[in-house]
Amino acid sequence: MRKAQVTPMEQAAAIIALSERLRKKCHKARDRETVADLRLATRYLRALAASGIAEEADAETDSRRKAQLERKFLQLYCEFLG
């Protein structure tokens, strides 16, 4: 049986959800090294999600949807840059 192909937007949503869970764990962590690792992982996951959204925006033909995806990409990318 073949698995259904996951779209870049579905991947981005899952990655963002994971990064949010890590961000919350970061606030609860007490060890500085763990906090630093979780923050770094969160930033890179958001960058990965942003690249998935950019990929989806490139393939989008509807101009309104494309603009919406580009805004979401910029939001996540700016969060990555800090």
Examine residue 77 and state whether it is found in any structural domain, yes or no: yes
pLDDT on residue 6: 79
Domain containing residue 69: 8-81
Examine residue 2 and state whether it is found in any structural domain, yes or no: no
Examine residue 38 and state whether it is found in any structural domain, yes or no: yes
Q: Is the separation of the CB atoms in 41 and 15 below 8 Å?
A: no
Q: DSSP readout, 30-60?
A: --HHHHHHHHHHHHHHHHHHHHHHHHHHHH-
Examine residue 3 and state whether it is found in any structural domain, yes or no: no
Examine residue 1 and state whether it is found in any structural domain, yes or no: no
* The model's pTM: 0.74
Cβ-based neighbours of 11, under 8 Å, separated by 6 or more: 49, 52
- Mean pLDDT, consecutive 10-residue stretches, the chain (82 aa), reads 75 89 87 91 88 87 90 81 68
pLDDT on residue 82: 64
Q: Domain count for the chain, please give it.
A: 1
Cβ-based neighbours of 50, under 8 Å, separated by 6 or more: 12, 73, 76, 77, 80
Tracing tokens 């949807």 back to the chain, one arrives at 65
pLDDT on residue 74: 85
